[in-house]
Every structure is written in C-alpha cells, then in structure tokens.
C-alpha cells in the first residue's frame, strides 16, 4: 500500500512522516507537492505538521487553498483515509473537512512536550489497531492547538463519537492540568462524520520507534495499513 504525504511550503514534518511510513512500517510512500493535483495512486493521505505559508493570517488558512486540496477533498469524499497531523489538522479544520477551529494556546506559549492522549474511538482507519481507552505517550509541538467549537457543534461531535483522542494523565484521566493548550473537552484529535478523515495535534510519526523516546504513535500509522489491508474504507486516488 502507498502513503501520499502532502508537502506545503513550510511543512517540516513531511520527512518524519516519510521515514515512519517507509522505513519503520516498510510501506510505499511518496511526497505530493501542494501545487500538484495528482495523488499518484496513494491509498492513504497524510497532511504533515509544520508552518504552511508561515502560519500567516491563521494556521492552515492559506494552505487550504493550495492546488492539491480539491483532490484531497475529493479523495476524502470518496471515503479515502486522510490523517492531518498538527498543522495538517489545522488545514483540515480551515478546509471544513473537520468542524471547529484552533485558537492560540491558553498560555500563549508554544508548547513542545511529550503528553498523554487516550484513544476514545477505534472505528477509524487510524485507530482500528488500538484499544479503546489505551493511553499513548506522544509529543506535541504547537502554539495554536487550543481547539474550539461552539457548544452545539461540540454536542454533535460527542453524540457522533467524533472525538478520537483526549489529553489525559498517564493513567488516562481527563484533568485540567493534563490539558496542555486549553482545548475544549480536552480534545486532541477528531474525525469527520464519515470517520475516514482524522485530525490530531500530537505527532504519532515522531513517536514511532523507541530511539525517539516512544513508539506509542506507531499504532496510528499501523492502523492505516490495517485498514487498507482489510479493505475497509478504500478509495484509491
């Protein structure tokens, strides 16, 4: 199977995503330049972290209009698995593929740290190999990860079980202290209504081998491989 990794000007986790999928998981992987419109036969798309367009205006606000985005939207609409990591998540929000928006962290500081997140749902292409309630130790690195949604939108997200990851303590408890950025309902990751598009602020690709201090993020990328192998939610680009 093949991962397509979209490269925007200012992406800086594209190589990490490539390394994790190609060298650690041993899968085919290819970069997709944001000015291209061809997804080159990718089975799974990753929108990596970074600072696309320098975070000008709002994080992800300009990248969402990149020439490749209509192809990404069409791929997602067909049920293709799309994972947005950090800035990739911010781009998915700006593109309207996932509801809500990001605000500046409540501390107004860029937070770079290993945090704990709890897997809330396993019926997505990026969590199918994880256990419900499993706590993963994965790094975050962002200044705008303070997730916001209006109360009625949040209620709908909860009712639809679209909250996929929450920030917790190492024991898996949701506490205010364990919330690194002020996100509403401690939300660290979400999916769309169809469940094939997942966005998350933590970086699973930076926690995919023990040499990096944690291999807990690997299960997220392995889930994508599993979902393609099992034939669920397949939409070849």
- State the residues that interact with other proteins by CB under 8 A: 57-58, 61-62, 65, 94, 99-101, 103-108, 146, 148-150, 182
The CB-of-177 to other proteins minimum distance in angstroms stands at 17
Longest dimension (CA), the chain: 44
The answer to whether residue 86 is catalytic is yes
Q: Is 34 known to be catalytic?
A: no
Establish whether 205 is a catalytic residue: yes
Structure tokens at 71: 């192809």
Residue 118 dihedral angles phi and psi, to the nearest 5°? -105, 135
Residue 108 or 159 with smaller CB distance to other proteins = 108
- Nearer to other proteins by Cβ, of 44 and 91: the residue is 91
| Shortest distance (Å) from residue 15 CB to other proteins | 29
Give the nearer residue to other proteins in terms of CB position, either 183 or 214: 183
**Which one from 86, 94, 120, 144 is the annotated catalytic residue?**
86
CA triplet 62, 58, 75: central angle to 5 degrees?
Answer: 45
Q: 83 and 46 in contact (C-beta within 8 Å)?
A: yes
Instruction: Out of 94, 120, 203, 222, pick the active-site residue.
Output: 203
Q: How far is the CB of 153 from other proteins (least distance, A)?
A: 8
- Supply the minimum distance, in Å, between the C-beta of residue 96 and other proteins: 9
Q: Using CA atoms, how far apart are residues 78 and 93, in angstroms rounded to an integer?
A: 18
Shorter beta-carbon distance to other proteins: residue 106 or 236? 106
Query: Which residues, 6 or more positions from 154, have their beta carbon under 8 angstroms from its beta carbon?
Result: 184, 185
* Distances in whole angstroms, Cα of residue 98 to Cα of each of 31, 101, 135: 23, 9, 23
Question: Do 12 and 49 touch, CB atoms closer than 8 A?
Answer: yes
- What residues act catalytically? 86, 203, 205
């Amino acid at each position: 199977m093949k991962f397509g990794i979209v490269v925007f000007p200012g992406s800086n986790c594209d190589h990490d995503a490539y390394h994790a999928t190609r060298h650690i998981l041993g899968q085919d992987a290819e970069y997709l330049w944001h000015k291209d419109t061809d997804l080159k036969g990718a089975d799974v798309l990753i929108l990596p972290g970074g600072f696309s367009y320098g975070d000008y205006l709002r994080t992800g606000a300009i990248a969402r209009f990149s020439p490749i985005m209509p192809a990404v939207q069409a791929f997602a609409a067909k049920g293709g698995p799309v994972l947005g990591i950090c800035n990739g998540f911010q781009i998915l929000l700006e593109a309207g593929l996932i509801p809500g928006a990001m605000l500046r962290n409540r501390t107004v500081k860029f937070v770079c740290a290993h945090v704990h997140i709890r897997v809330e749902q396993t019926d997505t292409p990026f969590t199918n190999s994880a256990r419900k309630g499993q706590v993963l130790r994965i790094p975050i690195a962002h200044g705008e990860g303070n997730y916001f949604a209006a109360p009625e939108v949040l209620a709908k997200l909860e009712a639809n079980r679209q909250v996929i990851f929450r920030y917790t303590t190492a024991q898996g408890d949701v506490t205010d202290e364990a919330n690194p950025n002020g996100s509403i309902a401690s939300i660290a990751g979400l999916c769309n209504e169809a469940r094939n598009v997942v966005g998350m602020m933590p970086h699973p690709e930076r926690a995919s081998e023990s040499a990096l201090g944690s291999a807990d993020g690997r299960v997220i990328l392995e889930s994508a491989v599993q979902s393609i192998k099992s034939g669920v939610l397949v939409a070849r680009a």
